[in-house]
């Protein structure tokens, strides 16, 4: 985005935008593309990062979700921004567990393929190896103008997990009191935003089933979808500009 930022333009963009033209890489357990809940959805890459080392190319994930988590995350994202294009980058296994190097490779692949947003509804503990491994692709995304959204720990925003606690990431907590389709801003925390997600909702899961579930994993895609709506009207916004915009349009914490 070039020119002067007019803050008054963005609430309207968030209302009018539907995510058209915005590509989102969902790093998760995969997405079950043939789930009945995805009729009319736009999908792109469907990749599996199940091995590490020696620069192997990612494999075709076959439209499967080993766990169900990624399918639910994608559903919330599409409810918020129905015209986005989603790429599935499977980095989590059957127990929703992933390795640092697999996540790094997938994120760099998403950057190379021109995705606008990388969505991470997971958090890793802060071992020195994890922090430095994650920092390498977080920095690459920032320099490429790629936005990153991450969920904070379900135990609360004070529990440090990555990528949420990197300052260039849009980190999201859950809050039951946030208006539907809106964000809440929280001063004094690296987890600066909260979105609806504290109340259990019925979402698509693996094997064409549904599951009633809650948590920050399903708050974060609300934020991603709202960002996609803004980008569909005002493309080219840099990650640091987007954070300023979200702070301006989010509701203050009670």
pLDDT score recorded for residue 8: 83
pLDDT score recorded for residue 198: 60
Neighbours of 38 (CB within 10 A): 18
pLDDT score recorded for residue 75: 97
Which CATH number belongs to the domain containing residue 187 in this structure?
Answer: 3.40.50.200
- The predicted-structure confidence for 87-133, as pLDDT tens digits, reads as follows 999 999 866 667 898 999 999 999 999 999 999 999 998 788 889 99
Tens digits of pLDDT across the chain (254 residues):
545 668 788 989 989 999 999 999 999 999 999 999 999 999 999 999 866 555 678 999 999 998 999 999 999 999 999 999 999 999 998 666 678 989 999 999 999 999 999 999 999 987 888 899 999 999 999 999 999 999 999 999 999 999 999 999 999 999 877 877 789 999 899 999 999 876 678 999 999 999 999 999 999 999 999 999 999 999 999 999 999 999 999 999 87
Q: Distance of CA 58 to CAs 52, 210, 212, Å? A: 10, 29, 32
DSSP, residue by residue, the chain: --S---TTHHHHHHHH---TT-EEEEEESB--TT-GGGTT-EEEEEEE----STTPPPEE-TT-BSSSHHHHHHHHHHHHSTT-EEEEEE---TTS---HHHHHHHHHHHHHTT-SEEEE---B---HHHHHHHHHHHHHHHHHT-EEEEE--TT-TTS--BTTTSTTSEEEEE-TTSPTT--EE-TTSSS-EEES-SS-EEEE-STT-EEEE-SGGGTHHHHHHHHHHHHHHSTT--HHHHHHHHHHHSEEP-
Position 44 in a domain: yes
Kindly give, in sequence order, each residue whose CB lies less than 8 Å from that of residue 55, ignoring residues fewer than 6 positions away: none
Instruction: Specify the residue for token string 């935003």.
Output: 193
pLDDT score recorded for residue 254: 72
pLDDT score recorded for residue 180: 76
Position 218 in a domain: yes
Number of domains in the chain: 1
Helix axes 9-16, 220-233, angle to 10 degrees: 110
d(CA 191, CA 211): 27
Six-digit token pair at 251? Answer: 């509701």
Mean pLDDT rounded to a whole number for the chain: 92
Position 217 in a domain: yes
Q: Identify the domain containing residue 58 by its residue range.
A: 22-252
Position 127 in a domain: yes
Position 200 in a domain: yes
pLDDT score recorded for residue 127: 85
Position 92 in a domain: yes
Interior angle at CA 232, CA 28 and CA 86, nearest 5: 25
Record the pTM.
Answer: 0.95
Position 153 in a domain: yes
């Amino acid at each position: 985005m070039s020119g002067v930022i007019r803050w008054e333009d963005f609430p309207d963009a968030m209302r009018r935008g539907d995510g058209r033209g915005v590509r989102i890489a969902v790093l998760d357990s995969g997405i079950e593309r043939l789930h009945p809940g995805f009729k009319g959805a736009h999908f792109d890459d469907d990749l599996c990062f199940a091995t590490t080392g020696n620069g192997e190319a990612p494999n075709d994930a076959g439209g499967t979700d080993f766990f169900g988590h990624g399918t639910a995350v994608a559903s919330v994202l599409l409810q918020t921004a129905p015209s986005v294009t989603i790429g599935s980058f499977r980095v989590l296994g059957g127990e929703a567990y992933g390795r640092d190097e697999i996540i790094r490779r997938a994120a760099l692949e998403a950057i190379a393929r021109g995705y606008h947003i990388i969505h991470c509804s997971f958090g890793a503990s802060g071992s020195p190896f994890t922090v430095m491994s994650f920092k390498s692709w977080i920095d690459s995304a920032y320099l490429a103008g790629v936005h990153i959204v991450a969920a904070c720990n379900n135990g609360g925003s004070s529990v440090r997990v990555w990528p949420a606690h990197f300052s260039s990431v849009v980190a999201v907590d859950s809050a039951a009191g946030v208006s539907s389709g809106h964000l809440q801003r929280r001063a004094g925390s690296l987890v600066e935003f909260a979105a609806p997600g504290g109340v259990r909702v019925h979402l698509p899961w693996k094997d064409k089933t549904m599951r009633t579930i809650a948590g920050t994993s399903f708050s974060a895609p609300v934020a991603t979808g709202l960002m996609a709506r803004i980008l569909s009207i005002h493309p080219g916004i840099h990650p640091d500009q987007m954070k300023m915009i979200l702070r301006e349009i989010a509701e203050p914490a009670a």
